Amino acid sequence: MNLNKKDLRKIMYDFNSISNRLMQSDFQDYNSVLKKFLMFISNTEIINEFIKDCGNCKINLAEEFSQIQNSYGSLIFTLGETNQEEVCNIFAYLNYINDNDIDICNRIAMGYSGSSKYQDMVKGFNDRVVFVLIRHIEGYLTKIGIDMGVDEKNTFNITVKNGQVNIANDNSTLTAYNNISFDLNELDKLIEDVKKISQKEQLSSDDEEQLNCNLEVISEELKSKQPRKSFIKTAVEGMKMIKGTAEFGAAITTLIQFVLGCI
């Protein structure tokens, strides 16, 4: 597929929008919003190819759903042991729900909440199942953005095979010399503050890896003689996606404001 940085940003924005809508949807609207979410994925080649590359779900879906429905909340879905299994399994579950017009409040989501309220059940299901898929896709798109990291006018040919993303640039790469002036010590301090606070957070391994990657990109690019602003902006967007406590969010915001002020 051919894609430039501007196209990628639009895809990330649209995916974030439809994902947020699904995560916050009312239980009465859930199936209709889920259909839109799945349709967006199917119609967005870069995401659809990523999911296909993760493999096929090997779970007997009809049997799995039957067991969970008959357990009255004592069983939950098997997500998988690897990131690839989580992606293909969750995507298969959601498509099965959509294709069979299953009301997840009818026993399916009971095991994800101690509450008897339908909205709480939906939230529990979203937090522990749907959000896992969303974060895998977000991480994938963010890493592509970091790898592309050049002028948005350049077009890239992106292929995915066996988990390996190949990005070929069909134009010359543009670079800019570093005319940035900022307090290097302040940058190091803000990055260290984020790292210290993140250690107290219960971040997932994926979030921790993404955070460290983004911090490294910001540090290296701002200190470089030829900083790539698109790399920096992509790293900033990646950090915004990581959820945590108010203290963690404040530290991230302070760093982002400093970084954006530098470029």
Question: Is 129 part of a structural domain of the chain?
Answer: yes
Same domain? 140 vs 10: yes
Q: For residue 107, give the 3-state DSSP assignment.
A: coil
pLDDT at res. 215: 92
pLDDT at res. 178: 42
Query: Residue 161 gets which letter from DSSP?
Result: E
Instruction: Give the pLDDT band (50/70/90) at residue 87.
Output: very high
Same domain? 199 vs 103: no
Strands (E) in 133-229, as ranges, are 155-161, 164-169
Long-range contacts of 208-216 (CB under 8 A, 24+ apart): 210/139, 210/142, 210/238, 210/241, 210/242, 211/239, 211/242, 213/143, 213/146, 213/238, 214/142, 214/238, 214/239, 215/191, 215/239
Same domain? 53 vs 118: yes
Same domain? 137 vs 195: no
Among 144, 165, 185, give the residue marking a domain's end.
Answer: 144
Among 128, 144, 160, give the residue marking a domain's end.
Answer: 144
Q: What is the C-alpha separation between 235 and 213, in angstroms, rounded?
A: 8
Beta bridge partners of 168: 157
Same domain? 125 vs 237: no
Same domain? 98 vs 24: yes
Q: Which ranges in 102-182 belong to alpha helices (H)?
A: 118-125, 131-148
70, containing H or E segment: helix 61-71
Domain of 128, in residue numbers: 2-144
Q: Tell me the one-letter amino acid at 226.
A: Q
**For residue 199, what is the domain's CATH number?**
1.20.1270
Same domain? 183 vs 139: no
Among 144, 163, 187, give the residue marking a domain's end.
Answer: 144
Beta bridge partners of 167: 158
Same domain? 132 vs 229: no
pLDDT at res. 152: 47
Same domain? 124 vs 198: no
Instruction: Give the pLDDT band (50/70/90) at residue 139.
Output: confident
pLDDT at res. 172: 35
Instruction: Give the pLDDT band (50/70/90) at residue 162.
Output: low
Q: What is the C-alpha separation between 246 and 6, in angstroms, rounded?
A: 31
Same domain? 64 vs 111: yes
pLDDT at res. 122: 93
Q: Which two tokens stand for residue 22?
A: 């699904």
Go through the chain and tell me how many residues it has: 263
pLDDT at res. 91: 96
Q: What is the pLDDT of residues 96-113, one digit of tens each?
A: 999 999 999 888 888 898
Domains: count for the chain = 2
